[in-house]
């Protein structure tokens, strides 16, 4: 199983962990390391290393941070080990739920791809969605994918030229 450590500003990581457990049930190999305003990277590094070792089953660890370039992100990057301890910035609930449900049977590389895809896929502005998606209960992923075609990939929201399609990314109504 791929281990997960949430390294975020304040107690955001604790809240994300609690919420994912509310949605899909108790999780093992999932810890949070909060970073407070007054904390220094050098002081937090031992706590992060302890968390990494605690969740590591030998199959790899993902360090999920909230903002790339921030103190939590820089702390995570300081303990990165290519192909074993990797960092993803921009953690959100779709990313974490997808990882928590699939990390037991996937390797680190496929978990990274899955997490980044899910993190992007479920971001959408309601004002940019077709009206049929706003009526509740209807899965609108196919509708949005068709609306974006031929330039968009329904998986990543990238246009055929490789850039991100800023208009709409597929959205599926969440079920908790």
Which CATH number characterizes residue 37's domain? 3.40.50.510
Q: What is the pLDDT of residue 142?
A: 60
**Poorest-pLDDT segment among 38-47, 68-77, 101-110:** 38-47
Same domain, residue pair 84 and 101: yes
Same domain assignment for residues 153 and 81: no
103 and 59 housed in the same domain: yes
Q: Please tell me the total count of domains within the chain.
A: 2
Question: In the predicted model, what is the mean pLDDT of residues 124-138?
Answer: 74
Q: Which residues pair with 140 in a beta bridge?
A: none
- Residue 158: per-residue pLDDT: 41
Domain that holds residue 14: 3-121
Residues 110 and 148 in one domain: no
Which residues are CB-neighbours of 11 under 8 A, at least 6 positions away?
32, 34
pTM: predicted TM-score of the whole model, two decimal places: 0.77
């Amino acid at each position: 199983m791929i281990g997960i450590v949430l390294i975020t500003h304040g107690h955001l990581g604790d809240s994300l962990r609690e919420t994912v457990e509310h949605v899909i049930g108790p999780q093992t190999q999932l810890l949070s390391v909060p970073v407070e305003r007054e904390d220094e990277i050098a002081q937090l590094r031992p706590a992060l290393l302890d968390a990494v070792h605690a969740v590591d089953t030998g199959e790899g660890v993902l360090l999920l941070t909230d903002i790339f370039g921030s103190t939590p992100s820089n702390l995570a990057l300081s303990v990165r080990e290519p192909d074993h301890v990797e960092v993803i910035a921009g953690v959100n609930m779709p990313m974490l739920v997808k990882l928590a449900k699939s990390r037991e049977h996937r390797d680190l590389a496929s978990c990274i791809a899955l997490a980044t895809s899910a993190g992007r896929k479920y971001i959408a502005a309601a004002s940019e969605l077709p009206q049929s998606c706003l009526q509740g209960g209807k899965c609108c992923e196919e509708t949005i994918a068709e609306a974006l075609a031929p330039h968009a990939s329904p998986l990543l929201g990238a246009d055929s030229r490789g850039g991100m399609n800023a208009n709409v990314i597929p959205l599926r109504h969440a079920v908790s």
